[in-house]
Structure 1
């Protein structure tokens, strides 16, 4: 009986770890896009967007470590290569030639995607009874919802 419980726990950890890996990949791609747009934004709104993007990518960068460490706490290996992230992410790369307004829209779409991925993590963690992963996901949800709100407010 104890072996079945351990097996179920391991299966839940793998499921939650896989969802966390998707969150990490989406978060990393969104971080890269946000940082790249920070470098490449231009136009009359340059200064305000340059600073907004910096605030957002700085917050995102800090969170990446926490997500990866949670994957490791579940006994799994965190993805770390571009190839691994490409196979897990649903956030497309950015385009430095976009207009400032299109960059803001693209980042808003990226946050929407990360929010959807985080909601899948919440569901998997809840099913697994994994409170720490739920807490992490809910904290990240709040951060991405705030970033999305700021981007949408910028668009008017």
Structure 2
């Protein structure tokens, strides 16, 4: 994570964050959440791109499915970023930051519909793996709100991957 993001926010009037999680643990969890945010944003943007550009016999089905998924993902981005802020750190918010943190690579062009679905399966699986790694860190820090957030994200991304895989079967 970029150095500026690693630093705790200096609170107004010297108020220290004291929520029962050490500064070191808050930093580690915020870093994992930053990776989650970067992967989630990349997946959101890719899904929205595919929604706009899908063609073929499954157009209506995929167009609607992609819209449902990117709309849900958009809402989640805010929740992830706000959790990073609640832990006392800045959330990444630039393409450069996302590029350095994300495990998902955005496609270079517009693939065929079946390739879009395959790409989104892999993207949802990648976000699930990122969430699992962050979940372990949050559990170790006894950070229940982050554990709850990541558990919900895991459920959604695993379900999305299953639904997308079903189209390819």
Kept in 1: contact 2:50–2:110 (CA 8 A)? no
Deviations, residues 73-98 of structure 1 (Å, cap 9, x unaligned): 00000000000110100011024431
Where do 4+ consecutive residues of structure 1 move more than 4 Å? none
Deviations, residues 100-134 of structure 1 (Å, cap 9, x unaligned): 00000000000110000000011000111111110
- Look up the SS of the partner of 2:22 in the other structure: helix
Give the distance between the partners of 1:84 and 1:55, measured in 2 at CA: 26
1:12 positional shift: 0.3
Q: Give the structure-2-normalised TM-score.
A: 0.86
Match of 2:63 among 50, 64, 69: 50
Q: Does 2:39 correspond to 1:10?
A: no
Match of 1:40 among 35, 40, 53: 53
Give the distance between the partners of 1:117 and 1:67, measured in 2 at CA: 13
Match of 2:83 among 37, 60, 70: 70
2:140 alignment partner in structure 1: 127
Give the distance between the partners of 1:42 and 1:95, measured in 2 at CA: 17
Which blocks of at least 5 consecutive residues in structure 2 are unaligned? 1-18
Q: Give the structure-1-normalised TM-score.
A: 0.93
Aligned residues: 151
